[in-house]
Structure 1
Amino acid sequence: MDTDSGTGRARAVLTAGLRALGLALLALCGSLVLLVLTLVSLLLIPAGAGLITTPWVLAGVRAHADRRRLLAARWCGVRIPSAYRAVPAGAKPWTRTFRLLGDPAVRRDVRWLPVDAVAGFGTALVPAALVFCPLEGFALALGLWRVFTDGTYVGWWYGFVPVSGQGSASLAGLLGVALLVAAGFLTPALLRAHFLLTRAVLAPGRGELAERVRVLTQSRRDAVDASAAELRRIERDLHDGAQARLVAVGMDLGTVEALIERDPGKARELLARARRSSAEALGELRDLVRGVHPPVLAERGLGDAVRALALRSPVPTEVAVDIGGGRAAAPVESAAYFAVSEVLTNAVKHSGAGRIRVELRHREGMLRIAVTDDGGGGAVVGAGSGLSGVGRRLGTFDGVLAVSSPAGGPTVVTMEIPCVLS
């Protein structure tokens, strides 16, 4: 039991160290590059070029910040609110640029970049160093000191220990042990401190309540607009499809009634056509119901509904589900299902992917969905893309959307929705 506990703790410390190292690289490279691109793009606004580049650069900044929000919630349980203002689809470059620059959440993202590149890098590097620097001390104690000195002079410093021979190298090894013990106690706390610093900059300040009310109002408006649009679509599909076919069936049956004695052959022909029309109308009604709320979703849950989507996809799609036997609330399942459907549709239409993988997991009150394709990349949130609609759909339930899609691929669309399973 003790051995298993020690092994588990060692694994947790190593995992925290690897995560901290990744965060340090992400802070130093990602935040620094995005900061430079943002400043250059803003300086180009008076020349006109910045009106084109700024929305794209700020979309990258937002994706970078959203990725950090997801990691904070997933790794340390630190929730960082996301409260971006919607930009009208099809807005002109001038309007789009200044709508983005007027968004307090976007301005916080930009202010966060230099903080993350300096303080964020430091707070991530320290726990990584606590985990991996002891390896150097152990290597020196085991004989690496001979590479740096022949024992007659100080050839290397390990922390505050001058290494000039086997004795001092052994002290370096003891210091490595002390650092490793400190890593066991401090690394998780330091990793959490990194995300708390991120939250301190990215989260809304004193106006958080007002901002939250505004976001909820916008989400409610989006939900109402989406419901109205869905109702109009249903009415249109019924009028143009099943309703027209059923009217034709009624007319054919009326003609059959008039011809059944005078021209039985013609009456049988019309009956056959009426039967085909009724079957087609039934198929259209089933498709319509499936578009409103798929029966497989209501009967068998989100996992099987997503598997059904994968079976209908023209691109080979693999699905991995780890949500236990519970069910989320029906509105959450519906939002997640249609979000996955939209992302899969985008991947099939635009990515040129040869394979797609969908992963669904539920951990610590969070439903996490990742859709990965091996296509050409270049997917962005905004500019009227389908992903913007997905983000608004998830926002109704306090969900977040993050997109990683470098040129050349792969594209990873990550969605998270807070929910409990019944």
Structure 2
Amino acid sequence: MTTVPVPWRALSRRAVLDTSVGVLIAAGTMASLGLFLVTTYFVILCVIGIGFVALPYLTRAIRRLCDLSRGAAARSGVPVEAPYLPEPQEVERDIVGWMRRCKWILTDPATWRDLLWLLLNTVVGFVALLPCAVLYYAGEGLVLACGLWRPLAADGEGRMYAFITVDSWPTALAAGAAAVGLLAAWPFVGPPVLKGYAYFCRFLLGPTERTRLASRVRHLAETRSGALDTQAAELRRIERDLHDGAQARLVSLGLKLGAVDRKMGHDIEEARKLLREARSSSVCALTELRDLVRGIHPPVLAERGLADALRALGIASPLPVTVDVDLPAQLPPPVESATYFSVSELLTNALKHAEAERVEITARYAQGVLYAQVTDDGRGGADCSAGTGLEGIRRRLATFDGTLEIDSPSGGPTTTKMEIPCVLSSPKTSSS
């Protein structure tokens, strides 16, 4: 038995999948037409107020269909971002809140672009049937080549197939050869057709330059607010640590030196004892100040860069930590600091909450993005929405347009991926 080469197997699987997606897209054109007609009808009825009753439900269905089309476009290698304005928060569950939601829908330019896409998709979407049509036509030619042209020829008329009138065995074999050629071309039809449809979706369903800039402004405003909150919290922490630690010791040191001054004239031994205590207090105050500065910006990070700082974290951790970093040059100090403290927080979570036995840290830099990943074999179940330090890490990275992705099924393992866009600031090289 002849074995089909692996590339042709992959091509045939991809062709079947593309054909199936094309059929689903074509089927979605009927839903597009129905949603367009119903939504247009209710938008018109908004003039007299009745349309507002169904508008939010119809919009949810439209955007769901549009999201499915964006997913199909992304599968073809054409990612399409959702262009919608942020949903209003804390909307009252009464007629006033309902009207505010309707206003949010009607004032969003993406709503009207979705309607235009629904209308045009009823025509353009049928183009996705082309892979299915090629497969069907190839199958028809193979059927004719098997001898089913005879009933047609008995009527005195042959069957036209690919410019060939099939009314005899030679013409049937020619039709079969044409069908085989179509069948061989079938795997290569789907990708360009679906990619063309994906560009059509991106043109209407993706964000315009105006909405992209508006989204960027909103993101910067949110991250700026988060950065200011983080900075204020950090300043309060430093102030608290200074007040409760070094400041208290320095006040105590001053009082002891005053006592020494009073004892010097008549009790030398007591004065010496107080001096020794003052010296011990000064050492403790200096240690606390160093620890405080280390919490703001660790010396190993400033002196040796992020790669060695991550290795130092692994060495200092009570858990067995494997560190694999490959950072070709010096990163911007703020990015290094954010990454360092994020990894440090994740190590702490693995130790205190995940009950992990091993942790793996990896860091790479490629194409203007710093990729860092922390994986532990703990019990899993980590969730940013639970109010843990993970949300603080997300806010810290968002300041640099960074992202945090967590995969933590119950029972583990937990994998946390961080991506931070940044530009190398110097040719300094760190060994891996």
TM normalised by structure 2 equals: 0.54
Q: Is 1:331–2:330 an aligned residue pair?
A: no
Work out the CA distance in 1 between the residues paired with 2:207 and 2:398. Answer: 16
Match 1:260 to one of 261, 264, 271 = 264
Corresponding position of 1:400: 403
In structure 2, relative to structure 1, the CA distance for the partners of 1:194 and 1:403 (3 Å cut) is farther
Number of the residue aligned with 2:388 = 385
1:240 and 2:244 matched: yes
Report whether the alignment pairs 1:226 with 2:230: yes
- In 2, Cα distance between equivalents of 1:285 and 1:256: 25
Q: Tell me how far 1:182 sits from its aligned partner.
A: 6.6
The 5 A counterparts of 1:10-89 are none
Matched, 1:361 2:364: yes
Alignment partner of 1:211 is 2:215: yes
Listed as ranges, the matches of 1:157-306 within 5 Å are: 204=207, 207-306=211-310
Partner of 1:314: 318
Q: CA RMSD in A?
A: 4.6
Partners of 1:369 and 1:82 lie apart in 2 by 29
Deviation at 1:314, TM superposition (A): 2.0
Mark the CA change 1:399 to 1:197 in structure 2 (over 3 Å): closer, same or farther: farther
Shift of 1:202: 9.4
Cα distance change on mapping 1:286 and 1:81 into 2, 3 Å: farther
Gaps of 5+ in 1: 1-12, 28-64, 112-122, 127-170
CA distance in 2, matches of 1:318, 1:87: 45
> Runs in 1 of length 4+ with deviation above 4 angstroms?
76-88, 189-206
**1:414 aligns to 2:425 (yes or no):** no
Q: CA deviation at 1:197?
A: 10
Give the 3 Å change call, closer, same or farther, for CA 374–312 of structure 1 in structure 2: same
Match of 2:160 in 1: none
- C-alpha displacement at 1:255, in angstroms? 1.2
Measured in 2, the distance between the counterparts of 1:201 and 1:393 equals 34
Alpha-carbon distance in 1 for matches of 2:295, 2:398? 21
- Offset of 1:86 from its aligned partner? 12
CA distance 1:370–1:200, shift in 2 (3 Å): farther
Counterpart of 1:343?
346
Q: How many residues align?
A: 284
Instruction: Name the amino acid aligned to 1:329.
Output: P
Contact 2:78/2:199 (8 A) holds in 1: no
CA contact (8 A) 2:354 2:380 kept: yes
Could you say which structure has the larger radius of gyration? 2
* Structure 1 residue 196: Cα displacement: 8.0
Q: Deviations over 1:238-264 (max 9, x none)?
A: 111101101111111121122234222
Q: CA deviation at 1:360?
A: 0.5
Moved more, 250-259 or 368-377: 250-259
- Give deviations 1:261-319, integer Å, cap 9, x for gaps: 42222122211211111111111101110111111111111111112222222222111
Matched letter for residue 268 of structure 1? R
Identity of aligned residues (%): 50
User: Are 2:383 and 1:370 equivalent residues in the alignment?
Assistant: no
Give yes or no for contact 2:83–2:211 (8 Å, CA) kept in 1.
no
Q: 1:415 to 1:208 in 2, by over 3 A?
A: same
Q: Is the 8 A contact 1:306 1:337 kept in 2?
A: yes
Distance 1:207 1:399, change over 3 A: same
Q: Which amino acid aligns with 1:406?
A: P
Q: Deviations over 1:322-370 (max 9, x none)?
A: 111x111111111111211222222211101001111000011110000
- Contact kept, 8 Å, 1:204 with 1:211, in 2: the verdict is no
For 1:313, the aligned partner's letter is S
Residues 409 and 368 of structure 1, relative CA distance in 2, 3 Å threshold: same
Are the equivalent residues in 2 in contact too, given 1:377–1:409 (CA < 8 A)?
A: yes
In 1, the alpha carbon distance for the partners of 2:273 and 2:356 equals: 47
| Residues 282 and 200 (structure 1), Cα distance of their counterparts in 2 relative to 1, 3 Å cut | farther
Deviations 1:372-394 (A, max 9, x none): 00001101122322111111111
**Cα distance per residue 1:23-53 (max 9 Å; x no partner):** 99xx9xxxxxxxxxxxxxxxxxxxxxxxxxx
* Cα deviation code 1:99-149 (max 9, x no counterpart): xxx999xxx9xx9xxxxxxxxxxx9xx9xxxxxxxxxxxxxxxxxxxxxxx
Aligned equivalent of 1:42: none
